[in-house]
Amino acid sequence: MTTVFRTETDIDRVGLGLIYRSLPKPEWTHAGHFAAALWLLRHRPDWPLAERMPPLIRAYNEATGVENTDSGGYHETITQASLAAARAVLATHPPDAPLHEVMDALMAGPLGRSDWPLAYWSKDRLFSVEARRRWVEPNLRAFDPEAIAAI
């Protein structure tokens, strides 16, 4: 199994780095996005993340010089799908499971590939302006986060 984050401190750094816009841009990777989602799900259970995540990411992008446009920056469909998938993966682990171990399991499965959404959305649909701005239903097959988490 590939280890992306070795300690809880590594995951804490990403989650807090997103909130405080202090995470170095090169660390805002595919794995970084999932680490932040897992951290927020675990440490901010009172936050309605479907609503809070978009402004967090947009603000982080702006703080790191990334414009949120119709062709770059924040992407609503990918964010919401990833958040649902992270929530489902986290639910398959005991509540006290170390997040770096949850992250390793997530990255070892299909979600570890940055192109995983293309199993559900065609490239044209996923990268459309509409999908970037709001949730767009998949057009290739039903998106079932629990089924992904079980793999």
**pTM here?**
0.95
- Which candidate, 21, 73, 60, 18, places its Cα nearest to that of 43? 18
Tokens 């982080």 sit on residue: 60
User: Per-residue pLDDT tens for 97-107?
Assistant: 999 999 999 99
Q: For position 2, what pLDDT does the model report?
A: 57
Residue 127 to residues 12, 70, 76, 84, Cα–Cα distance (Å): 30, 9, 11, 19
By residue count, the chain amounts to 151
pLDDT tops 90 at residue 118: yes
Element (H, E) at 75: none
Confidence of residue 3 (pLDDT cuts 50, 70, 90): low
Secondary-structure percent of the chain, ordered helix, strand, coil, rounded to 5: 60, 0, 40
Give the Cα separation of 52 and 101 in Å (integer).
25
User: Per-residue pLDDT tens for 60-90?
Assistant: 999 999 999 999 999 999 999 999 999 999 9
**Whether the Cβ atoms of residue 99 and residue 6 lie closer than 8 Å to each other:** no
**Interacting residues of 48 by C-beta distance below 8 A, sequence separation 6+:** none
Give the Cα separation of 122 and 138 in Å (integer).
8
